[in-house]
């Protein structure tokens, strides 16, 4: 890995922040790296204020969306809340359905089947709306490219309100309202909301117009926070405000569905990292292994005992998902090794037997071994479906645009996408994708990089320092967890490999001149034990975390990489 230490902030600004905010050069430098230059900026950063959310009516088509919902309610129409089967989609459905149900009884919810319907708005979903007398569909986390589907619904006298955050195509669907801050003609100040976040702006707007207190909406912020963490949207602006207050809600008054999951971890305080690694995989597992409707049912379940039963089923889905993606990853790695004759700039693999629900996870796992843009295909009906994952700095969505002659359908973001192709076009797509990646990828994107916030000595890390560091959370893109490097470290001789197959590294690190020992864990670093043997000096890149063990809390270094000094 390349270790990239970020440049220090302007000395005069760092000095100013040390006087105005907190007298610690490392903390002041971290603030400057985040664009904070004075006391007011630091106050806003450390105390995200819910009152600083933007006026939802600044979003294009918001007035039309609210008016159409009011019309549906006043005329007794049936409303169908429709959302994708991933975490962002199902949290959005749970939120919108619950909100509307508190004000109006004639509401239904629908999540498409990943396997029979695929991603986004489906013909089956529209037919379901028609058969059940729904005349308004509110589509969440999908729909921005569903032009033909919206036209099909219109033929059946079904209106659409689209709440999406994906990149629009050349033509916006002819819906009653299309809420998407990424529209070129939308001047909404914040462009990076999650799909659930766009849905939240809609219920905020509806509430504003209908004199519903904002305090009534805080019960949905836990859902928004989970969507933000799981969808890896930038943790800045409105997202950071919503995530901050959503985590407060999650830890203070968790909905029964989330509480049932949190009980598996002794009801510990959940950070955004816990959301990403403990809640999100379980919610996702429902759509991957069975059906997304199980996740929605869990999140809207009002009874804790029932939620525990439903959570148990979803936990089983997640256990099956883990085993499935492990087996497929092994098969994919063998396929790459067997076919790797020349150096390639991309990874494209396929098996008709791979489980469609986990190929996205497998693509991410393959990047951990072969750091390059990755496409994993499986059979889906009479076509091939794929999940795409990218590496730092490479826009995989734009790469797919250049391969569109061999693609039936695709959509997604800069770093993650999905597509379908005809089976006979597999080799053509594979060759074209490799050609595009080879021609456009920067050399800096071919090796993983660790961005290091600053160098630090371990004697500077104590409870007071960590207390301030915690206030930088919630972490995510645009506000990543501060990463440090320390040099000239040694292990006290008790270092060892731990975990399955010795994949992880556990050390007890000491620094020259410091009598303290830091417990340290390096996930996936088991093969680097030799670097620390015989008390040899090494440098380490890490983040500072709390470790809770048997009621005792201590600081721990979570290692990202180590190398000889």
Cis peptide leading into 215, omega within 30 of 0? no
Helix, strand, coil abundance in the chain, percent, nearest 5: 50, 20, 30
What residues contact residue 58 under an 8 Å CB cut-off, 6+ apart? 187, 188, 189
Strand stretches in 430-550, DSSP E: 449-452, 454-455, 484-491, 496-498, 504-511, 518-522, 538-549
Domain 56-313 has CATH 3.40.50.1820: no
- Chain centroid to CA 553: how far? 28
Ranges of each domain in the chain = 56-313, 340-445, 450-564
d(CA 170, CA 156): 25
Say what the pTM is: 0.90
Burial class of residue 527 in the structure, from the number of CB atoms within 10 Å of its CB (0-12 exposed, 13-18 middle, 19+ buried): exposed
How many Cβ atoms sit within 10 Å of the Cβ of residue 214? 12
Instruction: Give, for 555, the enclosing helix (H) or strand (E).
Output: strand 552-564
d(CA 184, CA 164): 14
Regarding the domain delimited by 340-445, which CATH topology (the fold level of the hierarchy) does it fall under?
Answer: Diaminopimelate Epimerase; Chain A, domain 1 (3.10.310)
- Chain centroid to CA 516: how far? 36
> Does the CA dihedral 314-316-317-318 come out positive or negative?
positive
Residues pairing with 549 in the sheet: 552
SS3 state at 225 = helix
Residue-wise pLDDT tens for the chain (565 aa)?
Answer: 889 999 998 999 999 999 999 999 999 999 999 999 999 999 999 999 999 999 999 999 999 999 999 999 999 999 999 999 999 999 999 999 999 999 999 999 999 998 888 889 999 999 999 999 999 999 999 999 999 999 999 999 999 999 999 989 899 999 999 999 999 999 999 999 999 999 999 999 999 999 999 999 999 999 999 999 999 899 999 999 999 999 999 999 999 999 999 999 987 889 999 999 999 999 999 999 999 999 999 999 999 999 999 999 999 999 999 999 999 999 999 999 887 667 899 999 999 999 998 999 999 999 999 999 999 999 988 999 999 999 989 999 999 999 999 999 888 778 889 999 999 999 999 999 999 999 999 988 988 999 999 999 999 999 999 999 999 999 999 999 999 999 999 998 888 999 888 989 999 998 876 778 899 999 999 999 999 987 789 999 999 998 877 777 889 999 999 999 8
* CATH code at 450-564: 2.40.50.460
Distances (CA, A) of 534 to 222, 487, 494, 507: 48, 17, 10, 13
What residues contact residue 129 under an 8 Å CB cut-off, 6+ apart? 80, 82, 110, 137, 153, 156, 158
Looking at residue 9, its pLDDT comes to 87
């Amino acid at each position: 890995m390349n270790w990239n230490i970020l440049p220090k902030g302007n000395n005069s600004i760092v000095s100013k922040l040390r006087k105005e905010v907190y007298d610690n050069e490392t903390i002041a430098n971290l603030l400057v790296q985040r664009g904070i230059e004075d006391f007011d900026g630091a106050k806003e950063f450390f105390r995200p204020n819910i009152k600083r959310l933007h006026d939802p009516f600044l979003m294009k088509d918001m007035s039309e969306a609210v008016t159409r919902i009011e019309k549906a309610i006043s005329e007794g129409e049936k409303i169908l809340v429709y959302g994708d089967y991933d975490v962002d989609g199902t949290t959005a459905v749970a939120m919108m359905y619950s909100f509307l149900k508190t004000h109006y009884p004639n509401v239904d919810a629908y999540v498409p089947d990943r396997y029979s319907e695929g991603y986004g708005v489906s013909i089956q979903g529209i037919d379901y709306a028609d058969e059940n007398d729904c005349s308004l569909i509110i589509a969440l986390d999908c729909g921005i490219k569903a032009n033909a589907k919206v036209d099909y619904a219109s033929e059946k006298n079904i209106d659409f309100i689209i709440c999406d955050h994906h990149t629009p195509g050349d033509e916006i669907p002819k819906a009653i309202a299309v809420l998407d801050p990424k529209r070129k003609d939308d001047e909404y100040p914040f462009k990076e909301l999650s799909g659930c976040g766009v849905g939240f702006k809609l219920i905020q707007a509806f509430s504003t117009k209908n004199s519903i207190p904002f305090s009534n909406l805080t019960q949905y912020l836990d859902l928004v926070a989970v969507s933000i963490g799981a969808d890896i949207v930038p943790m800045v602006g409105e997202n950071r405000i919503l995530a901050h207050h959503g985590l407060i809600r999650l830890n203070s008054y968790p909905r029964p569905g989330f509480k049932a999951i949190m009980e598996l971890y002794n009801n510990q305080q959940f950070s955004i990292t816990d959301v990403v690694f403990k809640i999100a995989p379980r919610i996702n597992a429902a759509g991957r292994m069975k059906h997304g409707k199980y996740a929605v049912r869990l999140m809207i379940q009002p009874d804790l005992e029932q939620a525990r039963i439903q959570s148990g089923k979803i936990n089983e889905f997640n256990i099956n998902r883990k085993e499935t993606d492990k087996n497929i990853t092994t098969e994919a790695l063998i396929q790459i090794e067997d076919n790797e004759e020349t150096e390639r700039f991309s990874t494209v693999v396929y098996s008709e037997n791979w489980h469609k629900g986990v190929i996205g996870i497998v693509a991410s796992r393959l990047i951990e071994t072969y750091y390059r843009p990755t496409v994993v295909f499986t059979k889906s009906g009479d076509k091939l479906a794929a999940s795409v994952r990218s590496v730092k700095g490479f826009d995989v969505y734009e790469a797919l645009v250049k391969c569109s002659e061999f693609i039936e359908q695709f959509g997604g973001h800069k770093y993650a996408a999905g597509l379908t192709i005809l089976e006979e076009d597999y080799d053509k797509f594979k060759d074209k994708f490799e050609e595009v990646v080879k021609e456009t990828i920067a050399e800096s994107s071919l090796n993983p990089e660790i961005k290091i916030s600053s160098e630090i000595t371990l004697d500077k890390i104590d409870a007071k320092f960590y207390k301030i560091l915690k206030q930088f959370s919630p972490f995510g893109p645009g506000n990543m967890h501060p990463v440090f490097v320390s040099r000239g470290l040694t292990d006290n001789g008790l270092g060892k490999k731990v975990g399955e197959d010795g994949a992880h590294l556990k050390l007890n690190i000491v620094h020259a001149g410091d009598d303290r020992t830091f417990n340290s864990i390096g996930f996936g670093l088991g093969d680097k034990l030799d670097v620390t043997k015989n008390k040899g000096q090494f440098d380490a890149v890490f983040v500072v975390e709390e470790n809770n063990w048997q009621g005792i809390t201590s600081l721990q270094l979570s290692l990202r990489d180590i190398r000889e000094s």
